[in-house]
Amino acid sequence: AQTVTQSQPEMSVQEAETVTLSCTYDTSESNYYLFWYKQPPSRQMILVIRQEAYKQQNATENRFSVNFQKAAKSFSLKISDSQLGDTAMYFCAFITLSGTYKYIFGTGTRLKVLA
Amino acid sequence: EAGVAQSPRYKIIEKRQSVAFWCNPISGHATLYWYQQILGQGPKLLIQFQNNGVVDDSQLPKDRFSAERLKGVDSTLKIQPAKLEDSAVYLCASSPALGDTRQYFGPGTRLTVT
C-alpha cells in the first residue's frame, strides 16, 4: 500500500526562526514526485514545493527547502525566516507516474508562527 | 488565468437530504479530481475524470455518491442521501492532462450534515 506519514500533528515556531516538518512515505514505485502543500484557513491548497524522485538535488523555493532521502523514504520541509503568513496546515503528498496518477496525502501538520 | 471555481462555499443539510456541488476547472484542463477532506485528515480522492470519462472511482461510495462531467468541462458531485459522516470539505482540482503532476485546487465546499 502507498502511504504518507506526518508524525507531527502540530508545531509552532517563533517569527524569523527556522522550522522543519517531517514526512515519510511508502511506495514500491521508483518513479514518483513528492510535494508539500500549504492549506491556510481559507482552505485553498497551495503548492509550496515539488521534488522529482529521480533527482538527487534537493528542491528549494525561496525560504522553503526540502531534505529528500530516497533510501529512507523521507521528505522533510524546512522553512527559513518563518513569517506570520506561514501559519497553516502543511500536507506532504506524492504521486506515482503509473496507473491513475493519484495523489496520496498525509494527515497534515498544523504550523503556527508566533509573533 | 482564472482558477478552479467551486460552489457553494458552504452548505448545511440534515441527514438523509441530498446535496450537489459544482466545479469549473481551469480552462483547457483535461483531468478533474474530487477529494473529500474530513476535519483533521488529508484529502482523499473520491473520483478522477479524464475529459468526460472516469479514470478512478475506487474510493467513491457509490451507494450514495455520484459524479458526472458530461461535456468534459464542468463537474457535479452529488450525495443522496447524506449521512453525518459525510461532513467534510469537498475539494475539486484540475490538471492539464493525465500524467501531469501539477494539480490546481479550488477553494472547496464545506458540508455540514446535522
Judged against a pLDDT cut of 70, whether residue B1 lies above it is answered with no
- Highest mean pLDDT: which range of A24-28, A80-84, B39-43: A80-84
Of the two residues A96 and A110, the one the predictor is more confident about is A110
Cell representation of residue B3 = 482558477
Most B CBs within 10 Å: which of A3, A39, A43, as the mutation test of the B interface? A43
At residue B111, the pLDDT reads 98
- Chain A interface with B: residues with Cβ < 8 Å: 4, 33, 35, 42-47, 50, 91, 93, 95, 97, 100-103, 105-108
The residue-averaged pLDDT of A5-29 equals 96
Q: Which among A43, A93, A107 has the least Cβ separation from residue B108?
A: A43
- Cα distance between residue A15 and residue A80, in whole Å: 10
pLDDT band with cut points at 50, 70 and 90 for residue A86: very high
**Is the confidence at residue A1, as pLDDT, over 80?**
no
DSSP assignments along chain B, one per residue = ----EEE-SEEEE-TT--EEEEEE--TT--EEEEEEE-TTS--EEEEEEETTEEEE-TTS-TTTEEEE-TTSS-EEEEESS--GGG-EEEEEEEESSTT----EE---EEEEE-
- Mean pLDDT throughout A50-71? 94
| Residues of chain A contacting residue B101, judged by C-beta atoms under 8 Å apart | 33, 35, 50, 95, 97, 101
d(CA A15, nearest CA chain B) in Å:
25
A2 pLDDT tier (thresholds 50, 70, 90): confident
Phi, psi dihedrals of residue A94, rounded to the nearest 5°: -140, 160
What confidence score (pLDDT) does residue A41 get?
A: 85
Chain A positions touching B89 (Cβ under 8 A) are 43
Residues B49-79 pLDDT 10s = 999 899 999 999 999 999 999 888 999 999 9
Mean pLDDT, chain A, integer: 93
Taking contacts as CB-CB distances below 8 angstroms, the residues of chain B near A42 are 107
| B chain contacts of residue A106, beta-carbon cutoff 8 Å | 42
What pLDDT is attached to residue A44?
85
Q: B5-52: per-residue pLDDT in tens?
A: 999 999 999 999 999 999 999 999 999 999 999 998 999 999 999 998
Q: Quick one: pLDDT at residue B102?
A: 87
The predicted model gives A41-45 an average pLDDT of 84
The alpha carbon of residue A107 is apart from the nearest alpha carbon of chain B, in Å, by: 4
Share of chain A above pLDDT 90, in %: 81
- How far apart (Å, rounded) are the C-alpha atoms in residues B5 and B26? 8
pLDDT of A100 over the 80 cut: no
| Residues of A with Cβ-Cβ distance to B100 under 8 angstroms | 101
Report the residue from B56, B91, B107 with minimal CB separation from A102. Answer: B56
Tell me if residue A20 falls in helix, strand or coil. strand
Interface size, chain A vs chain B, as Cβ–Cβ contacts under 8 Å: 53
